[in-house]
Chains A and B, each alone.
Chain A
Amino acid sequence: MWNPRKFMLVVALFALLLPASLAQDATEITFATWGNATEMQMFNDMVDAFEESHPDVTVTLLERPGRGYRDQTIVEMAAGTAPDVVRAGFRGDFAFYADAGGTIDLSPFLDGDFEDDFFPAAWTIASVDGVPYGIPFMTDTHALFYNVDYIEQAGITVPTSMDECWSWEEFSAMSRHAMDNSDADFGHAALWNGKRWMLFLYGNGGQVLTDDLSESAMNSEAAIETIAWTQSWYDDGLAPFSTSMKLSERADELFINGTIAFFISGSWHLPNLRANMVSQRWGVTYLPCTENGVDADLGGNGFAVTRDSENPGVAAEFVKFITNTENMKYFAEQAFFNPVRYSSLEGLEYPEFNDMMLLFAEVAETVDAHHAAVQGLPKFPGIQNIIQDEVDLAFVAGQSAEQTAQNIHDKINALLAEE
C-alpha cells in the first residue's frame, strides 16, 4: 500500500547518502601560496580552470603571507600536515625541502623531455642531483630604477644598452652627482638580503663557493672589493644607513617618496610604483657592471608536492597545470615577472611597461651558472644568513672588508663541514 511517509523517508535517506557516495570519488588537494591581490586572483582563476577540467578534483587555495611562509611550511612538514602543493623560492628552498624529506621526486609524473622547455638555471635550482623536486614557475631579477625628475635636474644621462652600463666608480659618481644636484636627499639604495648582494660579487668575477661547491671562495680579492664597494655606499653617505641588510626603512618607499634618486631592485615593484609614485616620473636602466662582465640577481620560485600529500599524482598534475605554457605566460604578463619556459616567451607581451620588462629579461640572461648552482644548495639559506649578518656589520658597524670576507669564509666553511 502506498505510504507517502515511507516514500518521503526513503527519498530523504537517498538524498543524504548520495553526496556521501559522490564524495568518496572526489579528490581534494590543498595548495598554499602567497601573493598580492592580482596574483591571488590569477591563482584563483587557475584553480577554477583546473577544477573545470578535472571535475573529480577539488583544490583548496590557502593564501598565506610571504613573510613567514617558509617557516610555516617547515613546521607543517615537521608535523606531517603540510599542504599537498607548496611554493618554494630560488633560495635553496627546493633543495632544503627535498634534502629533509619534505617533498617528493616528481620525475614519475613528468615526461622524459619535460625539462627541455625550461631555462636550465631555473630547472637546476628546482632539482637535487638532477632529480626534479619541483617545477619552477617564474623568475625575477634586478635592474636600476631612477627618478627621471632628479636625473634631469642633475643633467645625468642613463645607459640605454647593456654595453653602456656604468662602471662601479661611474655609478658612485652619478649617485653623488644626483644627490648634490637634485632634490634627492640620498643618491641610491638597494632592497638588500644576502642573496641579492651576490649579484655584485658574481658581477665582479667572484664566487661564494669553489667550482665544486665544496668550500668557501669568499677569501678572494673579488669578494673583498665587492664588500668594500657596497660598504662605501654607506661610508660615503650615498645610501641611508636605514637601508642596510637589517633594514629599518624600505628602499622602495624611500624611492617612492623622493628621498633617493636611484633604487636597485626587481620588476615586481612596477605595479606599486605605478600606483604610488604619481608625483614624479621614473624609469629603469641597467645595473652598474665591472670589466669582469655583468651578473643578475636570480630571484624566482616554483611549486613542489609534499610527502604529506595523499594524492601526489593529482597534486603533481595540478603543479604541471599551473606551470604550463599558457598559465606561466599569463601570470608573468599580469604580475610583471619573467617566465622560465622558452615556450612562454613566444608572443609574450606585457600590458604595461613592456620595454622595461624586456630590459629585465635581458639582464636575467646574464645569470652565472655557478651562481645558480649555489642557490640550489640545501645549505644556501644558512650561507645567505652568514653573508647578510657579516655584510651588515661592514655596512653599519665599521667592520673592515677584509675581516668581513674572512668571517664569511670561515663561517661558510664551518657550515659546509657540518654533517
Chain B
Amino acid sequence: MVATNPDRIRAASARGWRDWWSLNQRKVAPYLFITPTLAIFLVFVLFPIAYSAVISFFKWNGISEPDFRGLRNYARLLEDPIFWTSLQNTVNFTLGVVPFSMAFGLLAALGLNRPQLPGRAVLRAIYFLPFVISAVATATTAGWIFGDTFGVLNKMLVELGLKKVQWLTNRHTAMMTVVIVTIWIRLGFCMLIYLAGLQSIPPDLVEAARVDGASRWQQFRHITFPLLKPTTFLLVVLNIIYSFEVFDLVFVLTNGGPGYATTVLTVFIYNSAFQTQSVGYASAIGIVFMAIIMTITLIQWRISNEGGRIN
C-alpha cells in the first residue's frame, strides 16, 4: 500500500525530531532536569526578591495601595539606630555561632568516627536530634532549661549552692545564651558533615604517618585537618548564611529582648513588616540584608577559588 502524503509528512517529521534530539540531547537534557527546580526557584525565590526590591521604594502597609517614596526607606534605614543595633547583633551572633559550632562539631565527629566506640550510632543520633527537631520546639525546650525562675539549669545551680544566672533576661548574657542554644542545634549538623569528610580520607595516609612515628596530634594537624579543608569551607559558608537568617529560635526564645539585646536583622524585618506595618521599610531592610549576604558569599567564593588554584 502506498503511503499518503500526510503519512509521509508525519514520518519525515518524526524522523526530523529524532535526528534533532539525537544531535542536541546532551545540550538540552540538563535543562530539562533543572526545569522543575528552576520553576520553583523563580516562583518562590526570585519573584519575591524582585517584588521586595520594587516594594522597598514604596510606603505600604501591606493592604492598601502602595505610595511611591523613592529612596526614602533606604535613607531612613541609615539613620535608624535599631537597624544598626540589629546588624551588630547579627554579626555578634554569627561570630559566636560559626567557630564554636564547627569546633565542637569537629570534636564530636573525631570522637564518633572511632569504630571501637560503643553506642556510636546512638550518640550520633543524640547529637543530631536538635538539628532535626523544629527550631520552635528546640527554642521552647531551651526556654525551660535557661528560664530564670523555673529553668532546669538555674535549679541545678541553686542545688549546687551557686547563684542563679539571668540567662535570658540580662542584656549582657542573653545573646550568649542564644548562641549556646544555637551551637547545641548546629553542632549535630557540623558533626555529620565532618564525619562524611573524615570517612573520605584514605586510611592509608594516616596509617603511613603513624608508621613514620607521627603522634596523634601530628596526624590530625598535618593530615586530617588539611584534608578536611573543603569540608570546613563548606561549613563556614553554610553556617554564616544560617546565622544571618536565624529567626524562629530568637523569636521564640527572647522575642529580640531584653531591650534590643537579641534583636537580629530578621526579627527587625518581621517587626517592621507585621508589628508596625511598614512593609516597604521592611523590604528595604531585606534588600540591604540580601546585599550583605551576597557580598560575604562572593568574598568566600573568591577565597575558595584562589585556595583551589593553590591546591
Contacts and interface: CB of A to CB of B under 8 A. Distances in A.
Interface of A: 70-71, 74-75, 77-78, 96-97, 99-102, 185-186, 240-242, 244-249, 253-254, 257, 259, 381-382, 385, 389, 392-393, 395-397, 399, 415, 418-419
Tell which of B150, B255, B258 has the most Cβ of chain A within 10 Å.
B258
B297 interface: no
Contact of A397 (B59, B67, B261): B261
B134 interface: no
Given A186-B149, A259-B149, A381-B277, A244 B62 contact: no
Nearest to A397: B259
Contacts of A102: 63
Contacts of B62: 74-75, 77-78, 100
Interface stretch (B14-22, B86-94, B163-171, B183-191): B163-171
Nearest to A253: B150
Contact of A246 (B61, B170, B256): B256
B83 interface: no
A31 to B, nearest CB: 20
A241 B258 contact: yes
Query: 6 closest Cβ contacts across the A-B interface?
Result: A246-B257, A100-B63, A241-B169, A396-B258, A397-B259, A242-B148
A248 B148 contact: yes
Contact of B254 (A246, A393, A418): A246
Interface string B138-164: 000001000111100000000000000
Interface residues of B, number: 31
Interface in B245-281: 253-261, 271, 274-277
A382 B276 contact: yes
A205 to B, nearest CB: 28
A242 B169 contact: yes
B37 interface: no
Contacts of A381: 275-277
Given A78-B62, A100-B64, A186-B149, A245 B257 contact: yes
Given A248-B148, A249-B148, A241 B166 contact: yes
B63 A244 contact: no
A392 B258 contact: yes
B166 to A, nearest CB: 6
A257 B151 CA distance: 12
B150 A259 contact: yes
Contacts of A419: 59, 67
Contacts of B169: 240-242, 244, 248, 396
A336 B149 CA distance: 29
A246 B63 contact: no
A75 B170 CA distance: 35
B148 A99 contact: no
B148 A241 contact: yes
Contacts of B170: 241, 396
Given A99-B64, A396-B169, A396-B171, A246 B255 contact: yes
B271 A385 contact: yes
Contacts of A74: 62-63, 274, 277
A385 B276 contact: yes
A77 B168 contact: no
Given A100-B62, A242-B169, A389-B260, A254 B255 contact: no
Contacts of B256: 246
A163 B275 CA distance: 38
Contact of B275 (A97, A245, A385): A385
Contacts of A418: 59
B274 A71 contact: yes
B259 A249 contact: no
B150 A254 contact: yes
A249 B147 contact: yes
Contact of B147 (A100, A242, A393): A242
